[in-house]
Amino acid sequence: MLNENIKAIRKSKGLSQEELAVKLNVVRQTISKWEQGLSVPDSDLLISMSEVLETPVSVLLGENIVEQKADELKVISEKLEVINLQLAQRKEMKRRLVHWLFIVLCAVIIIIAVALIASSSPYLGWNYSDPETAVVGATYHAFEWLFFRIAAIILVGGIVGIILTGKKNL
């Protein structure tokens, strides 16, 4: 809601992201992140933005207030806290997803390696006088050769990824 309001009000005032960024003394990417909902402005920047856009903070936050509340900053900080919690939850979900993707990657590499080792390079005993058999055998050998040279590097990278995306140390 905040991100959509920032974008809509900025556009209605005829300002580009760059122009708004200059007026708020931030970089354009910061405005872009706010408008995409990837981050939120702190309370000071929110107040500055409301002044630059000539719009009450309550409107930026999506609230239609008939009467002015004396504790407006408290309300703003509570809403920002909720938004920050939502962003933290999204970040945690992404971390978990990446963590499990690394685990799956390592498992797939191990499964393929075990399957290749168990098959004991059957192409070595094939009759290569048939062109189709020769192509399949050469392809199988190339895959096996390339896999065992690259798999170790990818496996180590996956293990490092699992460690880095694991839960934070207490």
pLDDT tens across 95-113, in order? Answer: 999 999 999 999 999 999 9
Q: Which of 44, 38, 39, 46 is nearest to 62 (CA)?
A: 46
Please state whether the predicted TM-score (pTM) of the whole model is above 0.95.
no
Surface-to-core class of residue 114, CB atoms within 10 Å of its CB (0-12 exposed, 13-18 middle, 19+ buried):
exposed
pLDDT score, position 3: 85
Instruction: Give residue 162's Cα distance to chain centre.
Output: 16
Task: Give CA angle at 123 (121, 126), nearest 5°.
Answer: 145
Per-residue pLDDT tens digits for 22-73: 999 999 999 999 889 888 888 888 888 889 888 888 888 876 434 444 467 7
Contact 103, 159 (CB under 8 A): no
Instruction: Check: CB of residue 9 under 8 Å from CB of residue 60.
Output: yes
Structure tokens at 95: 């971390």
The answer for 37, left when phi > 0, alpha when psi is -120 to 50, beta otherwise, is: left
Distance from C-alpha of 69 to C-alpha of 77, rounded to nearest angstrom: 14
Please, which pLDDT band fits residue 87 given cuts at 50, 70 and 90?
A: very high
Confidence of residue 149 (pLDDT cuts 50, 70, 90): very high
